[in-house]
Amino acid sequence: MNTLQNVRMILDVDTGIDDSMAILLALKTKHIKVEGITTVFGNTDVVQATRNTLQVIELSGVDYEVPVAMGAAKPLFRDWRGPVTHIHGDNGIGNCELPQPKGKAIAESAAQFIVRKVNENPHELTLVFVGRMTNLAIALAQDPSIASKVKRLVIMGGAVKVPGNVTPVAEANIYGDPEAAHRVFESGIPITLVGLDVTMKTVIGEEHRRLLMDSPAPGNERAAAYIGEAFQFYFGAYDKQNGFYGAPLHDPLAVAVAAYPDLVTTEDLYISIETKGTMSYGATLADFRRTVPVTNTAVAFEVNSPRFLDYFINTLKS
């Protein structure tokens, strides 16, 4: 596997089950340095998401400090529709009980933290957003110049050639705050979109769960137990919702693409977000016309799933 050395990352999460796996994957990948994690509403409320994030960081055993900045509690212009308890449980992490976190969120808001870190490290930071893009939209409003200073933005979101998972055309992270997503896609930030077109091809099942639980590395016992318990809840939720016992690794794939871009095959397209439609609200619209002179997003359409799953399992077991 070709390694992209020294990926310096800010990870934005609404820490549900797959977010927690993305956090563990980022913190356990040796050539990723997580410069900070920002939290947002989504799978659960932002206070719970922040608590979950702090708990997962401590569970990971990471040997450096990872600041956590709490962000937006609702979409830019609309009311929040509430937590996704049927997929992520009452506490966002499959009703798993983790120890009270010793750490606390920093005083800066998520948007303030993003603005400061990007300005301090121009062209050095990869942003990975696996929830609603509200924090980044606010950061861009505070300082539009950061758009030209971000090395790359990897987004888990959208459904371009495949159905949505909230409406027939809309994916949850985009649908959760389309106005924020619109601002981000129009900002000029270099974007790689890792949406349902590829994440739905990265399904893990019971055999993978057992691999993750069995024979954990010394010091990784508690993390392995959490992974097994959380995935058991997640698989059951997907079984009720979609009729199969397993789950796609939405958020971990975005982290993986930040670390190993060649895991996916992309096409450069112009992406627009629908914010006005009734049936089409939150849709991720790609312009496939060859006469379009400008593109704003590298959209992932194919993924090397076996290679990704090997990386995911081996890293989480480390």
* Encoded tokens for 316: 């989480």
Reference 305, options 267, 256, 246; nearest CA is 256
Catalytic residue among 88, 182, 208, 250: 250
Reply yes or no on whether 123 is catalytic. no
How far is residue 37's CA from residue 256's CA, in Å, rounded to a whole number? 16
How far is residue 251's CA from residue 265's CA, in Å, rounded to a whole number? 17
How far is residue 78's CA from residue 285's CA, in Å, rounded to a whole number? 21
Alpha-carbon distances of 62 from 29, 54, 177, rounded to whole Å: 10, 12, 32
In eight-state DSSP terms, residue 264 is E
Q: What's the maximum distance between 2 C-alpha atoms anywhere in the chain?
A: 56
Alpha-carbon distances of 316 from 187, 217, 239, rounded to whole Å: 34, 10, 24
**Whether the Cβ atoms of residue 16 and residue 87 lie closer than 8 Å to each other:** yes
How far is residue 94's CA from residue 176's CA, in Å, rounded to a whole number? 21
CB-based contacts of 179, cutoff 8 Å, min separation 6: 75, 76, 77, 78, 137, 275
Query: Which residues partner with 204 through β-bridges?
Result: 247
Q: Quick one: 177 exposed, middle or buried, by C-beta within 10 A (0-12, 13-18, 19+)?
A: buried
Q: Annotated catalytic sites, by residue?
A: 250
